[in-house]
Amino acid sequence: MAAILAVGGAVLDIVNVVAAYPAEDSEVRAERQAVRLGGNAANTLAVLAQLGHRCAWSGVWADEPDGRRIVADLQARGIQTGPARRLAGGKSPTSYITLSRATGSRTIVHHRDLPELSAADFEAVDVAPYDWVHLEARPNAGDIPRMIRHVRRHSPRARISLEVEKAREGLEHGLHDPDVVLFSGDYARGQGYADPEGFLRGLDPATVPGIKVCTWGSAGAAAVDNAGRLHRTPAFPPARVVDTVGAGDTFNAGLIDALARARSLAEALEAAARLAGRKCGREGLDGLTGAGG
């Protein structure tokens, strides 16, 4: 199995399950509540750890009760937290999630009072042990090229993936060097595209020369390999959609897992879509072991 470092967010998710999404200025009773680990990088690692990889997280955490809970949850999953930066002040990132039982969709209100992990912070991390480094494009996306140079210099064998969920200032400077760039459908739609194939074909190979992937929810996902060939997979929805929180992070984990096992891009794309579909049929991220194939 691969040694994988993910750089990005680890969050406390407070999930309220309701029968249906409430109207504005109304009051509803939650059927149940769950408090659990969240955040894109942390979720991706939680799935990768289940799939047998040796995982570590690098990010910023606040040394207060919620922050210690986040770190303890990561460690309980076998995810190393040594590469993370601890802050004595601040407040842990928290996502307040309303999950509709009627549709399985979720609405998120996020609060964060912590600085991002800077390139200078990351340059203090020993990346030599890792086979794969997964970066999450955060608001300080302008730091990504410097982070990638740190990995290339100290772990030249490592493959690098970059998740692009939202438009970020300075992001364009970080798209050239990753081996794999994972774009969300929201990002592509924000660029004016109506389907993943059109978005991927619209990317300049000189700007994004590596493997390019774009997810599109219930319409599946598409990818372009290093030879410029387009690959497509449908979605694999469960019989009933229960919980879509973390589905994109699960897809990313499934793709990284399959590529780390030297499977073809077409195989990896389908495996990731199947794993994300399985996740949507259950609450939370636990119990996915073996679903990646």
Which pLDDT tens digit goes with each residue over 63-75? 999 999 999 999 9
pLDDT at 292: 38
Contact 196, 188 (CB under 8 A): yes
Which pLDDT tens digit goes with each residue over 148-164? 999 999 999 999 999 99
Range of the domain at 181: 3-281
Q: Does residue 288 lie within any of the structural domains?
A: no
What's the CATH code of the domain at 70? 3.40.1190.20
What are phi and psi for residue 239, nearest 5 degrees? -60, -35
Q: Does residue 120 lie within any of the structural domains?
A: yes
Q: Does residue 104 lie within any of the structural domains?
A: yes
Which residue in this structure is represented by tokens 């210690």? Answer: 68
Share of the chain residues as helix, strand and coil, in percent rounded to the nearest 5: 30, 25, 40
What is the signed CA dihedral for 34, 39, 43, 44, rounded to 10 degrees? 170
The three-state DSSP-derived secondary structure of 81-126 is: CCCCEEECCCEEEEEEEEEECCCCCEEEEEEEECCCCCHHHHCCCC
Which pLDDT tens digit goes with each residue over 199-223? 999 999 999 999 999 999 999 999 9
Which pLDDT tens digit goes with each residue over 85-95? 999 988 999 99
Q: Does residue 210 lie within any of the structural domains?
A: yes
Q: Three-class SS of residue 189?
A: helix
Q: Does residue 124 lie within any of the structural domains?
A: yes
Pairing type for strands 132-136 and 159-164 reads parallel
Contact 131, 2 (CB under 8 A): yes
pLDDT at 290: 52
Q: Does residue 160 lie within any of the structural domains?
A: yes
Q: Does residue 293 lie within any of the structural domains?
A: no
Whole-prediction pTM? 0.94
Q: Three-class SS of residue 48?
A: helix
Q: What total of structural domains would you count in the chain?
A: 1
Which pLDDT tens digit goes with each residue over 241-262? 988 999 999 999 999 999 999 9
What is the signed CA dihedral for 5, 49, 184, 106, rounded to 10 degrees? -130
Q: Does residue 196 lie within any of the structural domains?
A: yes
